[in-house]
Amino acid sequence: MLHRDNLQSFKAALSAALRTTNQADDALSDRFVELRPGTVATLESAVNHLITGRRGVGKSTTLAVLQRRAEERGARVIFVDVETHKARS
């Protein structure tokens, strides 16, 4: 049962479940909609990019879609989720 005492842990678990991970599956790619048309093509160019934005706007999802597209072209991709290391000093 959900009580005030365990509400924070419930919110944290729900947030973690909703976050995009480094695994971009077919369903994610199928339902992905670019915020601005051409964004993914721009990010695929061979220059450095800085992606910023508020929580939940699709930064990680965009990166996961880019990862999948790069892997489909034969590129090797390393995806580091720094969220898993945030508690480290």
In which band, very low, low, confident or very high, does the pLDDT at 40 lie, cut at 50, 70 and 90? confident
Q: How far apart are the first and last CA of the chain?
A: 34
Give residue 61's pLDDT. 84
pTM of the full structure: 0.62
> Using the 8-state DSSP alphabet, how is residue 86 labeled?
T
Give the closest residue to 45 by CA, choosing from 81, 70, 28, 68.
70
Task: Output 25 or 79, whichever has higher pLDDT.
Answer: 79
Task: Output 22 or 42, whichever has higher pLDDT.
Answer: 42
DSSP assignments along 38-71, one per residue: THHHHHTSSS-------TTSSHHHHHHHHHHHHH
Quick count: other Cβ atoms within 10 Å of Cβ 60?
19
In which band, very low, low, confident or very high, does the pLDDT at 48 lie, cut at 50, 70 and 90? very high
Give residue 83's pLDDT. 75
